[in-house]
Structure 1
Amino acid sequence: MHEDDELPVELVDLGPGVRAGFTTRAGGFSRPPYASLDLGAAVGDDPGAVRENWSLVERWAGAPVAYGRQVHGGTVAVVGSRPADPPEADALVSASPDLAVAVVVADCVPVLLADPVAGVVAAVHAGRRGLVAGVLQAALGAMVGQGASTERVRAAVGPAIAGASYEVPAELRAEVARVVPATWSTTSWGTPSLDLPAGVRAVLEQEGVASVSVSTRDTFTDDRLFSFRRAAVTGRFAGVVRPPVR
């Protein structure tokens, strides 16, 4: 890839001035099986290639990008500058136009949130455990603490493994659905599954977020995206959001 090439990012509209989108596998420096825009710092890829890939994302975002050490929990970190060490958190909130925040995934649901009026954004890692742990509610609460209004928040639910593909044991489906009923699903081959994007949408709407867009792209079946379920050795793509510049 040449430095002047445009990074292919799936843009989403989260309001005036908000820079937001989801990367794909394309446009980076990593070699197979991580080719080519791998943004995973702990998946076995060449660290130099990953750093180069993040540099491309930062040029696209127009600002430094902060991301967390995701542990499938409900912890939120409010950041004003890029930390020297990524905080242990599954959601990051920024109210600074000089700092974008990101979430990295390979099947879990990447969620981008923004209140364009208050200039507050969040990137949320909503996997099965995080969804049950209330990571979305915690992220919205942290945004409100920074001056956002839930009624003004716009949400973009990015590409993730679909209910048609995410097979789980029947007991696990029942356990998750007791907390988030909208996740109850069945695979395309007729076995128990979880529809995490549907669960994310339901939680956001219950919390009062009126504007929610949901990607229809299934990471498991779309080889333009990384999927841990499809290939255990693989990279990570990202959802990135930056507050508007005033």
Structure 2
Amino acid sequence: MSVEEASLEGWPDNVRVFYTTREGGHSEGPFRGFNLGLHVGDREEAVLENRAALSDHLPKDTKIAWMDQVHGIRVVAASDSIATAMPADACWTRDSGIACAVMVADCLPVLLTDRRGEVVAAVHAGWRGLAAGVLDSAVSALNVPSEDICAWLGPAIGKEVFEVGPEVRAAFIAGDGGAGLSAYFRSSPHRPGHYLADLSGLARLCLQRLGVFNVSSLNACTVSETDRFYSYRRDGTTGRMACLILRDN
């Protein structure tokens, strides 16, 4: 099935989380399946058909706030990113009937809400944005006590295959004194001077440092699960999945 709904223990009943896979859909060639990205070179008609099918799986009349993701830390109101996708890597809303969406094909999608289900947010947490503080910006934008926030980590590149150069490790541990974050990088067995990075682990630690401890994860690797997920690292030219969060009342 192309669209799946996550069942998250301890989350407010009025908040719903959806994520897509590449299964089914109208896209062909390297985008085969349920591609939702208009910016990757796929036929626009196929992408729009896929987006229409996604909308059919959401509560009636839900509007989707897509973003023009730029690997930064900018946060926008979801209502400002419906008619035209705003350049941003996180969006939030307190309105029902608006789905905050993030597109991924290896980068980590992080969905946030508060325990009362009054506000929701979607975050694009690639390594650049994560190192720069996109989660800090998103948590701040929710304007609720951090201990009241629930977070969900969606499908992303796994720690066994996310090989990075020393500059990526340096970007995270700069000013950290090597404590904490450096533990999420281990020497690559494939390339001297490179590392295998735990992107989801880094995000979880960043959230904990912000006071967010209610963190759950899909625990799915986009690179390894070839038939289920798109992966830019694995395929280069490929499609995009989406993760969405909304208030249903």
TM-score greater than 0.5 by the shorter chain: yes
Assess, with a 3 A threshold, how the Cα gap between structure 1 residues 15 and 186 changes in structure 2: closer, same or farther: farther
1:182, distance to aligned residue in structure 2 (A)? 5.0
Q: After superposing the two structures, state which structure 1 stretch, 167-176 or 27-36, moved more.
A: 167-176
Q: After superposing the two structures, state which structure 1 stretch, 163-172 or 78-87, moved more.
A: 78-87
1:175, distance to aligned residue in structure 2 (A)? 3.0
Q: Structure 2: 5+ residue runs without aligned partners?
A: none
Verify the 8 A CA contact 2:3 2:57 in the aligned structure 1.
no
Q: Give the alignment partner of residue 203 of structure 1, picking from 203, 206, 220.
A: 206
Q: After superposing the two structures, state which structure 1 stretch, 174-183 or 96-105, moved more.
A: 174-183
Verify the 8 A CA contact 2:63 2:82 in the aligned structure 1.
no
Q: Deviations over 1:136-183 (max 9, x none)?
A: 110111111xxx332221111011111210111234323323354454
Assess, with a 3 A threshold, how the Cα gap between structure 1 residues 60 and 186 changes in structure 2: closer, same or farther: farther
Identity of aligned residues (%): 37
Say whether residues 1:167 and 2:163 are aligned partners. Answer: yes
Which residue does the alignment assign to 1:84? 83
Verify the 8 A CA contact 2:2 2:22 in the aligned structure 1.
no
Verify the 8 A CA contact 2:22 2:33 in the aligned structure 1.
yes
Report the TM-score when normalising by structure 2: 0.88
Q: Give the alignment partner of residue 19 of structure 1, picking from 16, 32, 35.
A: 16
Q: Any idea what SS the aligned residue of 2:211 has? A: coil
Cα RMSD (Å): 1.9
1:99, distance to aligned residue in structure 2 (A)? 0.5
Q: Deviations over 1:19-42 (max 9, x none)?
A: 102211113211121121101110
Which residue does the alignment assign to 1:3? none
Say whether residues 1:131 and 2:130 are aligned partners. Answer: yes
Q: Give the alignment partner of residue 237 of structure 2, picking from 225, 233, 237.
A: 233
Which residue does the alignment assign to 2:43? 46
Q: After superposing the two structures, state which structure 1 stretch, 198-207 or 6-15, moved more.
A: 6-15
Amino acid aligned to 1:185: R
1:81, distance to aligned residue in structure 2 (A)? 6.0
Amino acid aligned to 1:235: G
Report the TM-score when normalising by structure 1: 0.89
Assess, with a 3 A threshold, how the Cα gap between structure 1 residues 16 and 218 changes in structure 2: closer, same or farther: same
